[in-house]
């Protein structure tokens, strides 16, 4: 066993590592030291101790020991443990991510006090086999017709819907009052959904609705029987069959704007159709470049994790899931929804593998940065700020001020560190064409 320091110490500590993320600190406290601390605490406890026949603070110390000894011993242990634990951290050089938990305690009369403390730590690894990674060569390419499709989506968003006096056709919009039919065959008026807008023939509709509304005119009443799939998102409707009364109140036809400079100008002042198409091409290409970059990084991470066995501390995984669950709840509230406990539990279970993978990747990349001395300097941060400001047409000075006020400079630095690490790994990789 190793002394906690070179000078005389009342503690002896050893550390075991049953997991990469776990340390068990075995502490032995000299009995003389513990008894001396206990005696001091017992004298302090005596000052507030009162028993019939004795003035406050004047009872025999043996009586105080008999009545309060157990409590005082535990208080003494609580005072000594943090000091012994700190000594172990300094000697054995581990950095905890949780508070220590007492796992075992032995306080035999006349013998040294022995205890075990369990704590989670950031795993420290030396990344290996990260040179010559076999990566796939990827290039951002726009598919034929991608720009046309993007322009058409914008054009669809600018469509005008006008009421028509005819029967509904695929592509029209039917405005419908939807009323469920009860078990007694009567409409349940209190559950009516008024003025629901159906895009007739849309793929995301139940097909029975499309069939019922195709050829319907304002004033028509149709019925549709729907059987919900067993994996339907709403728990109460899974596998259930229901009949709905569909009262058509209006049929609307879509008019698309002409594909010309006036249309382009309505999207952005002074823009021509040619400029609109160029801007959309640039945006689509940027998206493709980001996708290619993301896929490349994911491939690198997969290879690194295959070659480096590392586990994430459970507490860090749970903290990660707490944060992402809170973000999920906030997004749901933005749409006027509340996630129940069952949904949140399901989300955490499904998100856990990704959380563990993200943290494992973080540890490996951190190790590579440390081993290769990859560092982000102030000049790198300055260049990135200028780059982002130019991309978004921000005044660079104002953007920097915003980042400083909101504590965002560390985020910029972290993103740069990741980029530089991936760039380093790609510079050492062996690329194979995706077509091969």
pTM, rounded to two decimals: 0.76
Looking at the predicted structure, is the pLDDT value of residue 3 above 50? no
Residue 106 contacts residue 251 (beta carbons within 8 Å) = no
Residue 324 contacts residue 355 (beta carbons within 8 Å) = yes
Domain boundaries, the chain: 2-120, 160-255, 273-433
Take residue 434 and report the two structure tokens written for it.
């995706």
- pLDDT tens string 369-417: 999 999 999 999 999 999 999 988 899 999 999 999 998 999 999 999 9
Same fold, 2-120 and 273-433: no
Name the superfamily (CATH) of residues 2-120: Trigger factor ribosome-binding domain (3.30.70.1050)
Take residue 364 and report the two structure tokens written for it.
């490996």
Q: Where are any strands of DSSP class E within 169-240?
A: 173-180, 193-199, 221-227
Residue 181: DSSP 8-state: B
- pLDDT tens string 326-360: 999 998 888 888 888 888 999 999 999 999 999 99
Number of neighbouring beta carbons within 10 Å of residue 110: 6
CA distance 279 to 373: 40
Domain topology for 160-255:
Chitinase A; domain 3 (3.10.50)
Domain topology for 273-433:
Trigger factor, domain 2 (1.10.3120)
Q: 3-state SS of 390-430?
A: HHHCCCHHHHHHHHHHCCCHHHHHHHHHHHHHHHHHHHHCE
How far, CA to CA in Å, does 55 sit from each of 39, 60, 292, 312, 407? 21, 11, 82, 58, 60
Q: Give the per-residue pLDDT at 238.
A: 86
CA distance 218 to 174: 8
């Amino acid at each position: 066993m190793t002394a906690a320091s070179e000078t005389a110490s009342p503690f002896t500590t050893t550390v075991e590592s049953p997991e990469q993320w776990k340390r068990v600190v075995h502490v032995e406290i000299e009995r003389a030291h513990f008894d001396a601390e206990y005696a001091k605490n017992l004298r302090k406890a005596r000052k507030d101790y009162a028993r019939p026949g004795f003035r406050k603070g004047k009872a025999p110390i043996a009586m105080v020991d008999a009545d309060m000894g157990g409590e005082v011993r535990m208080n003494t242990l609580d005072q000594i443990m943090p000091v012994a634990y700190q000594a172990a951290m300094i000697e054995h050089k581990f950095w905890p991510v949780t508070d220590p938990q007492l796992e075992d305690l032995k306080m035999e009369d006349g013998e040294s006090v022995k205890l075990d403390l369990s704590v989670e730590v950031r795993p420290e690894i030396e990344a290996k086999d990260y040179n010559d990674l076999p990566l796939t060569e990827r290039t951002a390419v726009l598919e034929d017709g991608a720009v046309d499709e993007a322009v058409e989506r914008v054009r669809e968003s600018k469509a005008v819907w006008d009421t028509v006096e005819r029967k509904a056709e695929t592509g029209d919009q039917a405005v419908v009052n939807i009323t469920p039919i009860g078990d007694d065959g009567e409409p349940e008026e209190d559950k009516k959904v008024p003025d629901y807008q159906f895009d007739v023939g849309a793929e995301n509709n139940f097909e029975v609705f499309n069939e019922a509304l195709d050829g319907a005119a304002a004033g028509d009443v149709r019925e549709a029987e729907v059987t919900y799939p067993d994996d339907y998102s709403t728990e109460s409707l899974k596998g259930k069959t229901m009949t709905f009364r569909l009262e058509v109140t209006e049929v609307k036809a879509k008019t698309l704007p002409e594909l010309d400079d006036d249309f382009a100008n309505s999207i952005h002042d002074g823009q021509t159709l040619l400029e609109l198409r160029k801007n959309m091409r640039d945006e689509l290409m940027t998206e493709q470049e980001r996708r290619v970059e993301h896929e490349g990084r994911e491939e690198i991470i997969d290879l690194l994790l295959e070659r480096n066995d590392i586990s994430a501390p459970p507490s860090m995984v749970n903290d990660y899931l707490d944060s992402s669950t809170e973000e999920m709840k906030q997004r749901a509230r933005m749409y006027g929804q509340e996630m129940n406990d069952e949904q949140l539990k399901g989300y955490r279970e499904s998100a856990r593998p990704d959380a563990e993978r993200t943290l494992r990747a973080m540890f490996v990349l951190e190790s590579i940065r440390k081993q290769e001395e990859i560092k982000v300097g102030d000049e790198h941060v300055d260049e990135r700020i200028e780059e982002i400001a130019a991309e978004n047409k921000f005044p660079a000075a104002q953007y920097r001020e915003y980042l400083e006020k909101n504590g965002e400079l560390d985020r910029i630095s972290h993103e740069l560190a990741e980029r530089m690490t991936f760039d380093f790994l790609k510079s050492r990789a062996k690329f194979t064409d995706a077509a091969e």
